Structure 1
Amino acid sequence: MIYNLTYNGIIKVSREHLSNKLEVGFNTISTAFKYMEQSKLFILSRNRSGKTNCGYRVILDMQHVNFESILSEVYHLKAYEIAIVKDEFKQPNKYQDLAQNAYISTLNGSNSTLNYNNQI
């Protein structure tokens, strides 16, 4: 999935396809989608089918070279709308604070522990 995003900048994929291909459950796929969205490096949207009201996830890489052209061609956004989208995703990531306070250490080179410093 990341390889395709790096190459194309945009992919369309279903939870069912990823679940079968990676042999994991739907909850794992949904959690991965949630973390991708929270990272603010990707825009996730849904391509809905008119009959069933469900569809594929469309994932867009915000750091791709053709990000603006993808927004204008695929989503038919104007220049000012693209500026709004880019500004919205420049906001600081609220989960970054937790990641900066994490200290990862290893015991005997085999076990990993995660200690959170400066937590309230």
Structure 2
Amino acid sequence: MTDPLSQAFAALADPTRRDLVARLTEGDATVGELAAPYEVSVQAVSKHLKVLEQAGLVSRAAAGRRSPVHLEAEVFDLMTKWIERYRQRAEARYRRLDAVLADMDDEESGRRPPHTEETA
């Protein structure tokens, strides 16, 4: 999977990785600090961080426990733009549906005559 967007979404499919990202929004942290609340080894958390790092979501200055893990905002910007594009399309469809339903409601309540096509 070489597409950065696909890698990012795949990396965030795991709830532990999403939690790590959420915690990193508060600032950089070491692997040990990130591992502290979990009932798993530091090595297990390091593996999760490696997936996030490969997806470009986080970076580390150096390998090891003491190096801070940093959240990379650029990939999130890419994800946000992709999501926003489809959210706008969905909103437009909902607005059209709302208009159709309002027209149907108006026709049923007798407020205006139903739309008919004249035939010759």
Q: TM-score, normalised by structure 1?
A: 0.36
Structure number with greater Rg is 2
Q: TM-score, normalised by structure 2?
A: 0.36
More helix per residue: 2
More strand per residue: 1
Higher relative contact order (CA 8 A, sep 6+): 2
